[in-house]
Structure 1
Amino acid sequence: MEKAIIISRCSTNERKQDITRQSEELRLNYGNVYQIIKEFSYYKSGTKNDAVNDEILEYALSYGVKHIIALEISRISRKISSFALFLEKCNANSINIIIDNYKLHTLLENGEINGMVQTMLSIASTFASAELRLIKSRLDSGRKKYIKNGGTLGRAVGSVKPTDQLLNEHSDIVKYVRQNQSVRNIMKLTGKSSGTVQKVRKIVLKSA
């Protein structure tokens, strides 16, 4: 079987969404078709994940991966330019991108570019970007209305966790910080957000 990579991404932290659902669904749909050798599961904005996409492509080239699988186009990127560049690099290296929710393949079985699909994905990428702008607009509108009605933003009093509790909840991060792992590696190993890793790392290093 040809080698494949799975991409699972959420924008919010681990307490709000569960990226394992994406991975499980993709493994179920493609595990018998391709040899899935790596999962890139992480939490990061789809407008700020270019570095991760570069890492994914580098891994694919290093290990002879022929297919990159994602549940939706927005899981790869919500920026039109970033997705277009990722697609261009994959085309240049004969790597097929599979978008599961539309069952689309960017390359034909003979390795040639699937022009119709790539045009469809360009349109889908535009919608993914527009969707993000709409979500942001709604959130901004909701915040303004909340403040106008007397609400206040920020953490509620007493919501900040004591240091010991935070370290206990994220003992896995503590372990990797003490091993001098980088923030990016710790994020990969634990599946936790950059903010959480850096917060715990700061506490551990300060107390060292």
Structure 2
Amino acid sequence: MRTKAVIYARVSSVSDRQDTSRQIEDLRKYANLRDIEVVATFEEHISGAKKNEERQVLTDCLEYCTTNSVHYLLLSELSRLGRSTLQVLRSLEVLHEAKVSVYIQNLGLYTLQPDGKVNPIVSILITILAEMSNIERSNIVYRLNSGRSNYIAKGGKLGRKTGSIKT
């Protein structure tokens, strides 16, 4: 039986400013080189700061993985799974209970050992990295708000220019 995997790709922007094609192509190449069959691909355009319950595509992906005898969930990086440590750990728990190992491409790590047990070192790393991602999200929000406040304090105005007719 051939090893089966699912690809999950996410970008934060709902506009055409970002897309998931790079993530998907890189993960497909990885799977092909290792003779892993990609049986499904899930793409989502939503902030990783949202709770899992608000991320329908992620929810569908996790359900697919746990009900279709998938061996691996392939991610380009851990933050694709989420920016909240708790949400990431919840997703991993669901997958690990179903013996689905998560492969994180930018780290070259699998969350499960070949015997199906959780890799304890990877588990520690993921917890730390998920928390670092959470901190980075907070820093981004801080910098954006600080920049806006600074701009306004110097006389800048936010919003559309007077007379704009754009919707």
TM-score using structure 2 length: 0.89
Q: How does 1:156-171 map to 2 (within 5 A)?
A: 156=161, 157-158=163-164, 160=166
1:187 maps to which residue? none
Q: How does 1:34-183 map to 2 (within 5 A)?
A: 34-51=36-53, 52=56, 53-156=58-161, 157-158=163-164, 160=166
Query: How many pairs are equivalent?
Result: 161
Pair 1:30-2:31 in alignment:
yes
The Cα offsets for residues 74-119 of structure 1, whole Å up to 9 and x where unpaired, read as 1001001101111111111101011110001011112121111111
Runs of 5+ consecutive residues of structure 1 not aligned to the other structure: 162-208
Which structure 1 residue ranges, 4+ long, deviate > 3 Å from structure 2?
155-159
Distance 2:26 2:15 in 1: 18
Consecutive unaligned residues in structure 2, runs of 5 or more = none
RMSD of the alignment, in Å?
A: 1.6
Q: Aligned partners of 1:63 and 1:97: how far apart in 2? A: 15
Higher helix residue share? 1
Tell me, yes or no, if the aligned pair for 2:79 and 2:130 is still in contact at 8 Å.
Answer: yes
TM-score (norm 1): 0.72
The percent of aligned pairs where both chains have the same amino acid is: 30
Bigger CA radius of gyration: 1
How far is the alpha carbon of 1:49 from its aligned partner? 4.7
Larger deviation, residues 128-137 vs 40-49: 40-49
The 3-state SS of whatever aligns with 1:155 is coil
Q: Measure, in 2, the Cα distance between the counterparts of 1:87 and 1:159.
A: 47
